[in-house]
Structure 1
Amino acid sequence: MPAPSPDEYAVGIMTMDVEGKNSEAFRDVVDRGVALFERALDRLGLRVEPFAFEGPHLTPGAGAYAPLDFLQIGIAEKLERKLPFLLIVTEVDLSSSSLAYTLALPSQLTNIGVVSTKRLDPGFWGDRPDAGMASQRLAALMLHTFGHLLNLRHDEDPANAMFPVESVEDLDTVGALSEAQRQRLLRTLPRESHDTFAGSRGFLARWAFVLRVLVADAGSILRAIVRANPFRLATRMPTMIAAGLSVVIALMFGSETWEVASAVSIYEAALFSSFSVAAAAFVLYRAFAFESLSGRDGLLAESTVVTVAATVASLGLTVVVLFGAFAALMYVGVVTVFPKRLIDLWLSVDAANRTMDHVKLSLFLAAMGVLAGSLGGRSDSRDIVRGVLFLTEES
């Protein structure tokens, strides 16, 4: 299979010197690492576009910096420079959702990877400093991250570029991609690059472009939703769960709530529930809104549509999971432990002791729970969006 034209695809390497403590040494490691990385891409016909970004001041949390902050900046630069792929290289530690730190995080949705050089030099671990080894490790880490952007799977060969990186020392043995991986990468480049743009800024043209992208990239969007796993994301929302349950329990012990359950139809309860789930998903999405998802030219990018669609769908399904959990919990509570005599004393319209009444009450309470929870759980949204945008594998 012939390699793509070097003018067709580019991999941007954006250097972000956040703290500026040893800028000269950092730039030297990056320059040499990029040269080695570029050599590895020669057989793929891809060109590398390195550039430095004097970014805004970023604030670390618990000793490490949030990858989402780098991703937010990277999305804007990627769109402005019309780069199909972007690797952000920084000298600071990156926070991890499950580990003390992470060396790199790839985001297949946005085609952006964030890479840290903080721990690559042996000098960091108390050994003799070796900038050459740090550069080689950086090149290996960038190639591994780039492979993830193109949906390459892990390889169990320690000499392969896609060998699972569990420690810094693992980078010393990884090498190039296999011939089979190179062929797969060349085949997937056109599909995975997501680098087309809307031809016009007009309303109809933009929506026609959105529909075309949703159809063409349905597979990529679905894969991103499956990777994000709404059931797993739901467990990352402790604030929303606590806020929603507190409101639900308070409402369950109110006579007006039971009156509503008795009076409304199942269709009205279902309609209200659907509206509540959609509103809660919108609130969570807006809590971490991507403010830079279009360039200054105003043209809509394919990667923008894919990112927004997968994020909104994942958040929506996560809210649906929580809604189902709330509804099931409330139904069990109503039919098992709630005093029946108290219900009969409360109701003035009709007895609400039928199964359908219990279902309607559970739907109503769950809808109120996700609505209240979405407002109280806005602080959870960054962890949720992180789970959607980044792979769960953390190098």
Structure 2
Amino acid sequence: MNKISIKFIFCALKDEHLEKLKEHLEKTYFSELDIAYLPLDISKAYNFKRNQYLADIIIGEARKLKKDPKEKWLLVVDVDLYASGLNFIFGQADLRSGIGIISLTRLKPEFYGQKPNEKLFLERVLKEATHELGHLFYLIHCENPKCVMAFSNSILDTDRKEKALCIGCKNILKVYTRLRFQK
């Protein structure tokens, strides 16, 4: 069975949100999932000019702590992330290390000047967590705009897509997991 570990870095989700996230990801990826808090210093990743954190550096710091190369880690932070060449990112995945990262910052309706909305926020968290973990299971961006693996250029794209894999991505995932377990 695949093992996924969600690592919260200086942030948290409500218990009921954690339970829904755990349930959704276990069901989607047929995996055992654990949740922990990771005391990781992410200050090296901070860019003062941008007031954002470079995701690659955070992933690199987490890589130093990861013992099992087969385990997939999803880091969850509540800081604004960016990647080289992009204004911002909701998340990122590094296949070599088996580590993905998502930021809660731009998933909050308040970031866009709207009223807090827990249901919408949780839906966005589920989508981004599912998306980045999908990359760790070798899924690429999907052309189906409703598929959770579709690229999100803005929060509107995230809101338009569903939190589930489309049938094509589900089939690719099944092939990948079948091949892994046959070894």
- Note if 1:32 corresponds to 2:40: no
Deviations 1:66-106 (A, max 9, x none): 22332123223331x66521110100011221222211111
Amino acid at match of 2:150: F
Aligned with 2:3 (options 10, 15, 26): 10
Deviations 1:340-378 (A, max 9, x none): xxxxxxxxxxxxxxxxxxxxxxxxxxxxxxxxxxxxxxx
Q: Show structure 2 runs of 5+ residues with no match.
A: none
Are 2:9 and 2:40, in contact at CA under 8 Å, matched by a contact in 1?
A: yes
Partner of 1:252: none
Aligned with 2:88 (options 97, 101, 104): 101
- Note if 1:54 corresponds to 2:39: yes
Partner of 2:166: 178
Are 2:104 and 2:125, in contact at CA under 8 Å, matched by a contact in 1?
A: yes
Residues 66 and 151 (structure 1), Cα distance of their counterparts in 2 relative to 1, 3 Å cut:
same
Partner of 2:73: 86
Partner of 1:150: 137
- Higher relative CO (Cα under 8 Å, sequence separation at least 6) belongs to 1
How many angstroms does 1:131 deviate by? 2.5
Amino acid at match of 1:71: I
Q: How many residues align?
A: 178
Residues 31 and 12 (structure 1), Cα distance of their counterparts in 2 relative to 1, 3 Å cut:
farther
Partner of 1:127: 114
How many angstroms does 1:179 deviate by? 3.2
Tell me the SS of whatever aligns to 2:93.
Answer: strand
Give the alignment's Cα RMSD to 1 decimal: 2.6
CA distance in 1, matches of 2:152, 2:71: 25
CA distance in 1, matches of 2:127, 2:90: 12
Partner of 2:176: 188
CA distance in 1, matches of 2:71, 2:132: 15
Partner of 1:296: none
Tell me the SS of whatever aligns to 2:101.
Answer: strand
Residues 72 and 104 (structure 1), Cα distance of their counterparts in 2 relative to 1, 3 Å cut:
same
Tell me the SS of whatever aligns to 1:65.
Answer: strand
- TM-score normalised per structure 2: 0.83
Q: Show structure 1 runs of 5+ residues with no match.
A: 1-7, 18-22, 197-395
Tell me the SS of whatever aligns to 1:109.
Answer: coil
Amino acid at match of 2:5: G
CA distance in 1, matches of 2:149, 2:138: 11
Decide which structure has greater strand share. 2
Are 1:38 and 1:47, in contact at CA under 8 Å, matched by a contact in 2?
A: no
CA distance in 2, matches of 1:87, 1:57: 15
CA distance in 2, matches of 1:189, 1:51: 25
CA distance in 1, matches of 2:74, 2:19: 10
Residues 90 and 66 (structure 1), Cα distance of their counterparts in 2 relative to 1, 3 Å cut:
same
CA distance in 2, matches of 1:184, 1:87: 21
How many angstroms does 1:155 deviate by? 2.2
CA distance in 2, matches of 1:169, 1:57: 28
Amino acid at match of 1:46: S
Partner of 1:77: 65
